[in-house]
């Protein structure tokens, strides 16, 4: 097959852009993703990637067929007819191109989907933005994905507040192992699915003696087991038991385990100490909320995949105001995009429109934007105590109670771990925080005055 047009494609669409006044945004979204899939003396077939671009074939045909043909003549001296097809249909519409699809990314994805229905294809190391807030977790995940032999970090224990990338990393590990170490048997599960499986097999086991062995086969006959959001099975005794047995069976035979949780092992209440120790024995590693640069980088990646382009100051506004978690960031971004799609065609979204779009969003999430420092300031101010004294070693009652109130409020209205709260309050040990939080909770039940104080402080902090 000749490839003159394909070989010169970048120059051809460049010519089109420069001579037909194609807006940069349209150039990026309409023309850059196009692909020449076959060409002859008389015809060229150009494919639209429907998943990215939508079905714009007839639009391109109407508005750009002639300009594109002219550009082809200008660059290659060829007079051909341009045919636009969508990727999915193109193999039917054109001859001699079906082999092109045999090993296409799309087919590979399909095969993966069939074999690993639990795998989220959108989550891979390729689209995980690495920054100081998650670099350790990312490095550990890559190390395990490259050597999933239970020797590197076992278990790898990822923890963070919600929406910061644990699940994304777990799928990235899975994907990498599937693609690079196909000899490893791998299974990912959420603790909810695991719980359902356990309950179901217990119920079935009354009639069916193979139910429990089947469950064990499913989770123990693997080389790598990833379990997401382990905190949800704590407190469910029989599920927890089954999980521990699974964990032990795999751990003892050197199989790789990856666990995620909203807290570090030491803070998982209701977990026996020997399992806290076990879970901590490999590498417990946390992920922090993204900084501004990371948030911008994530938004820019989303922009590349989107047909609506936002100005940098709008992106920056979103990044500044919704980076408590990446899920929140994505939600805010999607909302602005939706607003701009609803606005008049051709109208650029302004900063005011973005602010308006995010108004509810941001105030809804105000409690989650509280920082420990702010809480400490408000509490000190309320009790009229010196911040320095509050953070000091002293234990007189006039500062012990405000300090414990800080612990309580931080634990309720930020996603900080007890360890971090301890650090913020200058305490050596997170158990002090645990004790303080429980003390306030207990006292509030019997102490009306304390209850009132907390209510007032919540008002001052603007949380419900
Ligand atoms: P968690 O499991 O910690 O609650 P997720 O892994 O579900 O969080 O992440 C929430 C969303 O943010 C997902 O859409 C995920 O793809 C995205 N995300 C998280 N971290 C990153 C990152 N570092 N780079 C790109 N996207 C990210
Ligand atoms: Mg998750």
Q: Residue 168: CB within 6 Å of ligand 1? A: yes
Q: Residue 134: CB within 6 Å of ligand 1? A: yes
pTM of the shown model: 0.60
Distance between Cα 172 and ligand 2 center (Å): 13
Q: Residue 427: is its pLDDT beyond 60?
A: yes
Task: Cite the DSSP H helix spans in 221-325.
Answer: 237-252, 273-280, 292-305, 312-321
- List the structure tokens of 221: 């006959």
Distance between Cα 183 and ligand 1 center (Å): 28
Nearest-CA residue for atom 19 of ligand 1:
165
- Token pair 């070989």 is found at 7
Q: Residue 324: CB within 6 Å of ligand 1? A: no
Distance between Cα 330 and ligand 2 center (Å): 14
C-alpha span between 325 and 160 (Å, rounded): 10
User: What pLDDT, on the 0 to 100 scale, is given for residue 362?
Assistant: 60
Q: Residue 364: is its pLDDT beyond 50?
A: no
Nearest ligand atom owner, CA of 165 = 1
Q: Given strand 81-86, what is the order of strands in its sheet?
A: 35-39, 43-48, 81-86
pLDDT band at 126 (very low <50, low <70, confident <90, very high): confident
Nearest ligand atom owner, CA of 305 = 1
CB 266 within 8 A of CB 276: yes
The string of DSSP letters for 310-321 reads: --HHHHHHHHHH
Q: In this predicted structure, which of 27-31, 125-129, 433-437 has the lowest mean pLDDT?
A: 27-31
Distance between Cα 143 and ligand 2 center (Å): 20
- Mean pLDDT value across the chain: 86
Q: Residue 123: CB within 6 Å of ligand 1? A: yes
Nearest ligand atom owner, CA of 191 = 2
Query: What length is written for the chain?
Result: 464
Residues 371-422 have pLDDT tens digits of 888 899 889 888 888 899 999 988 888 899 999 999 999 999 888 899 999 9
Q: Residue 101: is its pLDDT beyond 60?
A: no
Distance between Cα 260 and ligand 2 center (Å): 8
C-alpha span between 385 and 379 (Å, rounded): 8
Mutate to test the pocket of ligand 1, among 125, 142, 164, 285 (most ligand atoms within 8 A of CB): 164
User: What pLDDT, on the 0 to 100 scale, is given for residue 99?
Assistant: 38
C-alpha span between 116 and 186 (Å, rounded): 9
């Amino acid at each position: 097959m000749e490839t003159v047009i394909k070989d010169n494609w970048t120059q051809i669409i460049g010519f089109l852009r420069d001579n037909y006044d194609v807006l940069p945004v349209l150039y990026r979204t309409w023309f850059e993703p196009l692909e020449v899939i076959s060409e002859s003396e008389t015809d060229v077939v150009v494919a639209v990637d429907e998943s990215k671009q939508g079905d714009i074939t007839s639009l391109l045909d109407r508005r750009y067929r002639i300009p594109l043909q002219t550009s082809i003549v200008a660059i290659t001296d060829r007079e051909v007819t341009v045919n636009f097809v969508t990727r999915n249909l193109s193999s039917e519409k054109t001859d001699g191109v079906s082999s092109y699809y045999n090993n296409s990314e799309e087919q590979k994805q399909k095969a993966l989907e069939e074999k690993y229905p639990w795998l989220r294809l959108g989550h891979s190391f390729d689209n995980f933005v690495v920054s100081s807030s998650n670099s350790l977790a990312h490095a550990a995940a890559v190390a395990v994905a490259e050597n999933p032999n239970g020797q590197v970090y076992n278990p790898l224990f990822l923890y963070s507040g919600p929406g910061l990338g644990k699940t994304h990393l777990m799928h990235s590990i899975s994907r990498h192992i599937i693609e690079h170490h196909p000899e490893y048997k791998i299974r990912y599960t959420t603790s909810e699915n695991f719980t359902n499986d356990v309950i179901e097999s217990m119920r079935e086991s009354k009639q069916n003696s193979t139910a429990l062995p089947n469950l064990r086969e499913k989770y123990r006959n693997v080389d790598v087991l990833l379990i997401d959001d382990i905190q949800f099975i704590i407190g469910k005794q029989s599920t927890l038991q089954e999980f521990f047995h699974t964990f032990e069976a795999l751990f003892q035979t050197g199989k790789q385990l990856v666990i995620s949780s909203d807290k570090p092992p030491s803070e998982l209440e209701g977990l026996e100490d020997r399992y806290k120790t076990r879970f901590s024995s490999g590498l417990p590693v946390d992920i922090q909320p993204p900084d501004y640069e990371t948030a911008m980088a994530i938004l820019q990646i989303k922009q590349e995949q989107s047909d609506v382009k936002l100005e940098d100051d709008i992106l920056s506004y979103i990044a500044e105001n919704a980076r408590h978690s990446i899920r929140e960031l994505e939600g805010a971004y999607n909302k602005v995009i939706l607003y701009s799609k609803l606005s008049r065609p051709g109208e650029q979204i302004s900063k005011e429109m973005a602010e308006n779009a995010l108004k509810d969003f941001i105030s809804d999430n105000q409690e989650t934007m509280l920082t420990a420092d702010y809480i400490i300031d408000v509490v000190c101010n309320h009790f009229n105590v010196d911040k320095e004294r509050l953070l000091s070693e002293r234990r007189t009652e006039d500062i012990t109670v405000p300090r414990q109130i800080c612990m309580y409020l931080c634990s309720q209205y930020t996603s900080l771990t007890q360890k971090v709260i301890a650090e913020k309050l200058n305490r050596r040990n997170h158990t002090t925080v645990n004790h303080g939080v429980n003390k306030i909770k207990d006292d509030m039940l019997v102490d009306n005055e304390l209850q009132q104080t907390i209510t007032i402080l919540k008002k001052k902090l603007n949380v419900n």
